[in-house]
Amino acid sequence: MVTEGELPARRQWRLSANLPAFLLTVARAVVLRCCLDVILIISLPVLCLFVCFPRGRRWGMGPAPDRGLARAGAGLARALACPHRPRRRLPIGPLVAGQQRRRRRRGSAVAMSARTLPLLFLNLGGEMLYILDQRLRAQSIPGEKARKVMNDIITTMFNKKFMEELFKPQELYSKKALRTVYDRLAHASIMRLNQASMDKLYDLMTMAFKYQVLLCPRPKDILLVTFNHLDAIKDFIRDSPGILNQVDETFRQLIETYSCLSAGEFQLIRQTLLIFFQDMHIRVSIFLKDKVQNSNGRFVLPISGPVPWGTEVPGLIRIFNHNGDEVKRTEFTTDGNYVTPQREGSFDLYGDRVLKLGTNMYSVSRPVETHMSDSSKNLASRAKENIVPNPLAKEELNFLARLLGGLEIKEPGGSETGFRLNLFTTDEEEEYAQVLLGWGVCCSAMWTALETKVGP
């Protein structure tokens, strides 16, 4: 017979024997439940993304072009021997990348030439050098120091390995990749540009070249525009035979690659460039002033002047009979006022290019910037009468002024002497700069954000 005293002891023994197993079971259940919860928390948002943004069908096209372009851009950066690779924003997940791929593919549905990149790079590089040269002269940087900056950039630009990579048949880089290349190029010298200055420089370069491509009389004249840029670059480095040799080598490669192309192939190159620049309507002060750009950002297309070489002046109709003899001539008139061209530009290593597109439009000194420190009062009052203040320019200048305020001057060490370029020295000048819609002012402001440290 079980007594009351004995039962509790047996119960106690059974409980104490099962306790570790029981605790183990409970622990296992808790851990399992936690794991399930964690998995659920992570997978639900991912599942939602899959549901909301399904991947699109691909119509049998090859790998997404932008991956190849990013690779090419990285390849170029390596050839430039840059310390930093072009920064790429990594996709957060496969769907976001798929979305981005779809967005970028939109632009490549038309025929594109695979020989466009050298022309794009060399012409934009040429424009960049024109702007930098003008700023160095306007700010009265000592000749030797200015030449060093220009030489360094030109040496990097015409680097042999870089040129080899450039001339390989390939599609154009994306705008971002190309911008990165120029970022690296601009920093190949001792010059430093902050983000805002680089943006301004790039805008000026691209709009200038867009203008040149648009107004090219014949598709083949794009080559003449490129030759104009190279002629000017050769002039910048005329005292350095080593770099001159590099540039001449590139010149010869251009002649070899492009001389044999037909007009149709040049037109395809031109169309590829125009697609690259499509929908860019940044207003450039120098173009607005010269009346080659409208206030809506579109370029003025003249309907007068010489016709392209190989084209007849419009107006004549000739009728032939079945024997091939001319039997009738009639004329018609239009609003255009065209004349016959004088001569064709030269496509040789040296020669008169005839075409003015691609020459240095900044080489004519502008009274706005050169006389700014002397007669700013007079110019300011005249400027107020003649020029409509542009609120956008005012914002740009305010932004640049704020950047100036945040800049530190790095003290040069040892025997090096550095100096700082400063635009806004007086209240009067600041007021003048805010009123005037001047390219020179924009660029001067850009340059004050530069930290140019040059050696003795």
Partner 1 sequence: WCVLPSRVLLVLTSQKGIQMYESDGSIMVYWHALDVTEHPPAQAVFARGIAAAGGRFICVGTSSGLVLVFDIPPKGTNITVSEVLEQHHDAITDIAAELGQAPDGAGDLVTADDAGTLCIWSTGEEFTLLSKIPAFGCCCASVKLWNGIVAAGYGNGQIRLYEVATGLLRAEVNAHARWIYALDLAPQTGKLLSGAEDSFVHVWKLSRNPDTDDVEIEHCHAECVTDTQVCGARFCDPEGNSFAVTGYDLSEIYCYGRA
- Closest approach, Cβ 160 to partner 1, in A, equals 20
User: For partner 1, which is the closer residue by CB, 262 or 378?
Assistant: 262
User: For partner 1, which is the closer residue by CB, 108 or 194?
Assistant: 108
- Closest approach, Cβ 446 to partner 1, in A, equals 27
For residue 420, the SS3 value is: coil
Checking phi first, is residue 140 left (phi over 0); if not, alpha (psi -120 to 50) or beta?
left
Neighbours of 234 (CB within 10 A): 17
CA distance 3 to 293: 111
CA-wise closest residue to 265 among 207, 380, 257: 257
Q: What is the DSSP letter of 343?
A: -
User: For partner 1, which is the closer residue by CB, 62 or 83?
Assistant: 62
- Closest approach, Cβ 179 to partner 1, in A, equals 21
Q: How far is CA 332 from the centre of its chain?
A: 44
- Closest approach, Cβ 254 to partner 1, in A, equals 14
User: For partner 1, which is the closer residue by CB, 47 or 339?
Assistant: 339
Q: Please, is 276 exposed, middle or buried when counting C-beta atoms within 10 Å of its C-beta (0-12, 13-18, 19+)?
A: buried
Radius of gyration of the chain (CA): 33
> Partners of 358 in the beta sheet?
none
Q: Considering Cα of 133, then 135, then 137, then 143, what sign does the dihedral take?
A: negative
- Closest approach, Cβ 50 to partner 1, in A, equals 25
CA-wise closest residue to 189 among 455, 456, 449: 455
User: For partner 1, which is the closer residue by CB, 56 or 336?
Assistant: 336
- Closest approach, Cβ 113 to partner 1, in A, equals 5
- Closest approach, Cβ 208 to partner 1, in A, equals 16
Query: End-to-end CA distance of the chain, in Å?
Result: 113
User: For partner 1, which is the closer residue by CB, 340 or 363?
Assistant: 340
- Closest approach, Cβ 121 to partner 1, in A, equals 17
User: For partner 1, which is the closer residue by CB, 128 or 268?
Assistant: 268
DSSP for 230-272 reads: HHHHHHHTTT-HHHHHHHHHHHHHHHHHHTT--HHHHHHHHHH
User: For partner 1, which is the closer residue by CB, 69 or 243?
Assistant: 69
User: For partner 1, which is the closer residue by CB, 1 or 111?
Assistant: 111
- Closest approach, Cβ 302 to partner 1, in A, equals 9
> Partners of 299 in the beta sheet?
293
Q: What are phi and psi of 316, to 5 degrees?
A: -105, 135
Contacts to partner 1 by CB under 8 A: 59-62, 108-115, 169, 214, 217, 219, 262-265, 267-268, 274, 278-279, 281, 294, 298-301, 303, 307-308, 310-322, 324, 327-328, 330, 332, 334-336, 338
